[in-house]
Amino acid sequence: MLRLPEFTLTRPESLDAALALLKEHGDAALPIAGGTDLVPNMKHGLFEPKMVVSLADVPELHGVEETADGGLRIGAMTTLASLAVHESVQRYPVLAQAASLIAGPQLREVGTLGGNVMLDTRCQWYNQTYFWRKALGYCLKKDGTECHVVKGGKKCVAAASNDTAPALMSLGAVLELAGPEGAREVTIDEFYVADGIVNRDVRQGELLVAVRIPAPAAGHRSAYGKLRTRGSIDFPLLGVACSFDLDAAGVIANADLVVTALQARPTRARKAIALLEGADTSGEGFEAVIAAVAAAARKQCHPLPNIPGDHEYRREMVPVYVTRTLRAALDEGGPVHHI
């Protein structure tokens, strides 16, 4: 049995009240949305707040609405289960599919989009009980000075494990944040940084309010692929988000390919994208393009032994999942996974 640390729970009823509590209590307070990641992490002694601020009753964080420019604005407290089936979200298959594959059914009922965007990085040397971590002398990310993934490593390489992050990156999403200094906006590309300890450009006392996605082009195609040990519950061993626009002649434009669960930040497969851009999907040469895109993605992706699952196997699965996800996007199918 795993006990939570003692804390007081507060339930502010407005965004201002929530921000005021976080400002007043500083490092001693943590916000909780669905808690599906924070609660196990607190049970493992990874976070020991004195106050937990529930965002459940903050109306500004709820709701999904279409924006004036035809895009979508999704409140941070939108549950993953409702996101996956929301009618407006189906215009962005990569996001609906990624949400539908996060964790298991009970976790998606409670877990939120905001929580997944703000998800802590994961590592097999970090997501363990206090007893387990203590026996090893801890690690760089929590309480220790040594990295068990990269011997002698001075920079934490815990893996970005949120499925919505690569999906939102491929859609060009913008995050609306609110904090003690006021509101600000940041593109999701700039938001994630290559630091496993905190891989998000989030400032003290700041909350994610909503995620905005621009309108999809008429020929928008996208899909999400996820590799994991079981067909449910597990975090990704590898995640592939693929998005592009297809014109009437079957030529690809605005291609994007983002691979996650390798390192601290989702990786944009730039050389693969360059090969995809302008490719004619109706031509005979497209099979060769797919093979070249998959090979280029493999070359750029270097999974580390940071999360469970053999990292060499995970690397060999990069071209497999890139190929399958690309084909799924083209065929308006997906998601790519297994049960």
Partner 1 sequence: MQNLRLNINGDSVEVGAPSHWTLCEVLRYRLGLTGTKQGCDKGDCGACTVLIDGRPVLSCIHLAALAEDKEVTTIEGLRPLHQAAGGEGCDPVQDSFDRCGALQCGFCQSGMILSAKALLDEVPVPTEEDARAALSGNLCRCTGYTQIFQAIERAACERAGLEPTKPAWAPESSEHEA
Question: Contacting partner 1 (CB under 8 A), which of 27, 87, 105, 145?
Answer: 105
Site stretch for partner 1 (CB under 8 A), options 8-16, 68-76, 241-249, 327-335: 8-16
**8 A C-beta contact, residue 298 and residue 319:** yes
Assess contact for 125 and 137: CB atoms under 8 A.
Answer: no
Residue 97 touches partner 1, criterion: CB under 8 A: no
Instruction: Measure the CA–CA gap between 114 and 80, rounded to whole angstroms.
Output: 9
CA 224/CA 80 separation, integer angstroms: 15
User: C-beta of 235: minimal distance to partner 1 in Å?
Assistant: 11
Cα distance between residue 191 and residue 171, in whole Å = 14
SS3 79: strand
φ/ψ of residue 217, rounded to 5: -70, 165
Q: Which segments of 207-301 does DSSP mark as H helices, in order? A: 270-276, 286-300
How many chain residues touch partner 1 (CB under 8 A)?
32
**DSSP states of 162-231 as a string?**
-SHHHHHHHTT-EEEEEETTEEEEEEHHHHB-S-SS--B---TT-EEEEEEEPPPPTTEEEEEEEE-SSS
User: Is 124 a binder of partner 1 (CB under 8 A)?
Assistant: no
Strands 174-179 and 182-187: antiparallel
Stretch that binds partner 1, among 51-59, 146-154, 175-183, 188-196 (CB under 8 A): 51-59
Q: Is 333 in the site for partner 1 (CB under 8 A)?
A: no
Of 105 and 152, the one with the shorter C-beta distance to partner 1 is 105
The tokens for 193 are: 């940084």
Q: How far is the CB of 37 from partner 1 (least distance, A)?
A: 8
Contact between 69 and partner 1 by CB under 8 A: the answer reads no
Binding residues for partner 1 restricted to 210-239, rule: CB under 8 A = 230-233
> Per CB under 8 A, does 131 bind partner 1?
no
Minimal distance in Å, beta carbon 131 to partner 1? Answer: 14
Q: Which residues pair with 240 in a beta bridge?
A: 225, 259
For residues 40 and 70, which CB has a smaller minimum distance to partner 1 in the complex? Answer: 40
Check residue 90 for interaction with partner 1 (CB under 8 A). no
162 binds partner 1 (CB under 8 A): no
Q: Which of 14, 67, 106, 204 binds partner 1 (CB under 8 A)?
A: 106
Q: Does 39 bind partner 1 (CB under 8 A)?
A: yes
Q: What are the φ/ψ torsions at residue 49 (nearest 5 degrees)?
A: -70, 155
- Whether the Cβ atoms of residue 198 and residue 27 lie closer than 8 Å to each other: no
Query: Please, which residue, 11 or 327, has the CB nearer to partner 1?
Result: 11
133 touches partner 1 (CB under 8 A)? no
Q: Which stretch binds partner 1 (CB under 8 A): 20-28, 33-41, 112-120, 305-313?
A: 33-41
Determine if 28 is a binding residue for partner 1 (CB under 8 A): no
Spatial contact of 122 and 235, defined as CB atoms under 8 Å apart? yes
Work out whether 98 is an interface residue with partner 1 (CB under 8 A): no
Footprint of partner 1 (CB under 8 A): 1-2, 4-9, 11, 32, 35-36, 39-40, 43-44, 52, 54, 56, 81, 103-107, 109-110, 230-233, 339
